[in-house]
Amino acid sequence: MSKLNKILSQSSCGKCRVCCGFVDSDKWEIPIIFRELRESVEEKLGVKLITRGEEFVFDMKFNGNEISYCPALSENGCTLGDLKPFDCAVWPFRVNKLGEKLVITVSPVCDTVFSLPLKTLTEFVNSDGFAGELFAEARKHPDIVKPYIDGYPIITVEK
């Protein structure tokens, strides 16, 4: 999913890291590790993943509002390379469920991407099959679909 480099540079992303930190109230946002990648991720990081739905997540410990960072994060960014969770590879875009529809939204937490004009974001998501890839992964791995959050701009709706 290196398509994001068209609108988000690695250096901008690497300086921010807001998407790699979690507090107790947003632990539901911990990225999903697909079943087929579980063993490889565990081996690479020397961690055990825990079950969430049909897939897996990092077993992160929380202390209220203290930020806990993803165990794959290093001073040079994500150490997972090709094993990077889908959620991370497409961040700040996400697939949400709104009623019976799947929608792609953009998180307002990512200042760099969120500050782009909505038209730019819509054109980006709808070009080069990106939206189709996101919806296909959501159908294949429904645990990556998060409930819609008010205030997240809807970029496109599954047809």
Report, as an integer, the average pLDDT of 39-46.
Answer: 97
Domain coordinates of the chain in residue numbers?
A: 9-83, 92-157
pLDDT of residue 146: 92
Q: Residue 139: is its pLDDT beyond 80? A: yes
Mean pLDDT for all residues in the chain: 92
pLDDT of residue 16: 84
**Two tokens at 32?**
């999903």
Q: Are 86 and 32 in contact (CB under 8 A)?
A: yes
pLDDT of residue 2: 65
High-pLDDT (> 70) share of the chain, %: 99
Closest Cα to residue 1, out of 79, 78, 90? 90
Closest Cα to residue 108, out of 52, 151, 72? 151
Q: Residue 5: is its pLDDT beyond 90? A: no
Residues 6+ apart with CB under 8 A from 108: 114, 151, 152, 153
| Gap between the Cα atoms of 113 and 95, Å rounded | 16
Predicted TM-score (pTM) of the model is 0.90
pLDDT band at 12 (very low <50, low <70, confident <90, very high): confident
Q: Residue 1: is its pLDDT beyond 70? A: no
